[in-house]
């Protein structure tokens, strides 16, 4: 066990999960202001693990999933912790506080989380200004930075495409790739955007504004195979660069009844379903896949690459395992090369 798992996690897990998250982000934000300190953080060997995808170079294929650093506060620190890429967001055109607290719940015995955050973020304009300032300070990370965008809660579903476009246009010059989040279970009716007509309109609207940025779509693990195949066909039609599979699940049958709450379930209970979706996509499409959901150790990550994943992302695994998880995955992959 790492020092984090043995000593720090038992203390942190006595505190409200969102408070812990805020403390962690604040600490990493401060650390990001001192680049010389970051140079002392040991990083996994990268040369054998580098990947070329979407016209970008990834020093290693292990990414931080969207949702952890929603406002882009600690990008240099994530690079220092060994991640090969970072995904900021989900960002909405309008800043919003999200759903009422408490809205993150741990299930430690199952290495799982339930969240119903609701796209809490500062909004596209404020985050864009922060990222522009980071670039001006020459402190921008040397790893790809993705930007995940979603629908503002107050915007009607029929106006969703224009709302996404507003965020995309403001942020387009700042991200290396972009992800359309149409699969969070915590914004009312958002998942209806995965239906064929709505997602067709969304893909068309964004690509009309796109000046060459790789565009991906993040899907729910609760889609039927027919729905998934429709999305894959449209993604090909509109020349999307890939798929992020998957978001959290609303199916909580894998956890005890007394632990179930409204929101999206992530962590180990999502592992099998996320892996099944990866295999289905790779057998029905040539699109690259960023696999996320239930990756809790090096073997889980290796299993995703064996199933055809091009990159992986972690979130809940990072909460339970800490920074050592990135190194463990890197070591597991290097053994397989």
Identify whether the C-beta of residue 136 lies closer than 8 Å to the C-beta of residue 32.
Answer: no
% of the chain with per-residue pLDDT over 90: 81
Q: Average model confidence (pLDDT) for the chain?
A: 92
Sequence-distant (6+) residues with CB within 8 A of 232 are 243, 281, 284, 285, 287
Once rounded to an integer, what is the mean pLDDT over residues 260-272? 95
Q: Can you tell me which residue has the tokens 């609760």?
A: 222
Identify whether the C-beta of residue 43 lies closer than 8 Å to the C-beta of residue 129.
Answer: no
Residue 41 has pLDDT above 60, yes or no: no
* pLDDT tens readout for residues 205-223: 999 999 999 999 999 999 9
pLDDT confidence bin for 196, thresholds 50/70/90 = confident
Once rounded to an integer, what is the mean pLDDT over residues 185-214? 89
% of the chain with per-residue pLDDT over 70: 95
CA dist 45 and 96 (Å) reads 39
Residue 183 has pLDDT above 80, yes or no: yes
* pLDDT score of 12: 93
Identify whether the C-beta of residue 248 lies closer than 8 Å to the C-beta of residue 265.
Answer: yes
Residue 194 has pLDDT above 90, yes or no: no
* pLDDT score of 83: 95
* pLDDT score of 44: 55
* pLDDT score of 174: 96
* pLDDT score of 189: 79
For the annotated catalytic residues, the residue numbers are 184
Residue 39 has pLDDT above 70, yes or no: no
* pLDDT tens readout for residues 50-75: 999 999 999 999 999 999 999 999 99
Question: b/e string for 88-121 if b means 16 or more Cβ within 10 A?
Answer: bbbbbbbbbebbeeebbbbbeeebbbbbbbbbbb
pLDDT confidence bin for 192, thresholds 50/70/90 = confident
CA dist 33 and 40 (Å) reads 14
- ∠ CA 110-185-290, rounded to 5°: 70
Domains of the chain: 3-335 (3.20.20.70)
> Packing angle between helix 124-136 and helix 160-171, nearest 10 degrees?
10
Residue 336 has pLDDT above 80, yes or no: no
The structure tokens listed for 182 are 């149409």
Residue 191 has pLDDT above 90, yes or no: no
CA dist 103 and 92 (Å) reads 19
* pLDDT score of 238: 96
Residue 325 has pLDDT above 60, yes or no: yes
Once rounded to an integer, what is the mean pLDDT over residues 315-334? 93
Residue 46 has pLDDT above 60, yes or no: no
* pLDDT tens readout for residues 143-165: 999 999 999 999 998 999 999 99
CA dist 320 and 322 (Å) reads 6
CA dist 265 and 247 (Å) reads 9
């Amino acid at each position: 066990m790492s020092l984090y798992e043995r000593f720090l996690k038992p203390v942190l897990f006595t505190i409200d999960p969102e408070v812990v998250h805020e403390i962690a982000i604040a600490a990493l934000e401060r650390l990001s202001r001192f680049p010389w300190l970051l140079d002392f953080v040991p990083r996994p060997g990268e040369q054998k693990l580098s990947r070329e995808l979407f016209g970008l170079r990834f020093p290693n294929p292990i990414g931080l999933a969207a949702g952890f650093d929603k406002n882009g506060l600690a990008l240099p620190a994530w690079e220092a912790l060994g991640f090969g890429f970072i995904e900021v967001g989900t960002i909405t055109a309008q800043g919003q506080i999200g759903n009422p607290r408490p809205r993150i719940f741990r299930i430690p015995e199952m290495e799982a989380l339930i969240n119903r955050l609701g796209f809490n973020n500062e909004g596209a304009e404020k985050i864009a200004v922060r990222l522009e300032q980071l670039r001006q300070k020459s402190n921008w990370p040397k790893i790809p930075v993705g930007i995940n965008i979603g629908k503002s809660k107050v915007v009607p579903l029929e106006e969703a495409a224009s709302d996404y476009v507003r965020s995309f246009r403001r942020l387009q010059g700042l991200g290396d790739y972009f992800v359309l989040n149409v699969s969070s279970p915590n914004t009312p009716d958002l998942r209806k955007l995965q239906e064929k007509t709505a997602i067709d309109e969304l893909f068309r609207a964004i690509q009309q504004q796109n000046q060459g940025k790789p565009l991906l779509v993040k899907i729910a693990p609760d889609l039927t195979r027919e729905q998934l195949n429709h999305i894959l066909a449209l993604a090909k039609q509109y020349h999307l660069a890939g798929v992020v599979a998957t978001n959290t699940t609303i199916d909580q049958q894998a956890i005890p009844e007394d632990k179930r709450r409204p929101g999206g379930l992530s962590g180990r209970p999502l592992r099998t379903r996320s892996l099944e979706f990866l295999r289905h996509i790779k057998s029905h499409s040539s699109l690259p896949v960023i696999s996320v959901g239930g990756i809790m150790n090096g073997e889980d990550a290796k299993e995703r690459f064996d199933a055809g994943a091009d990159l992986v992302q972690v979130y809940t695994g990072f909460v339970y395992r800490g920074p050592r998880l990135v190194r463990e995955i890197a070591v597991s992959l290097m053994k397989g090369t």
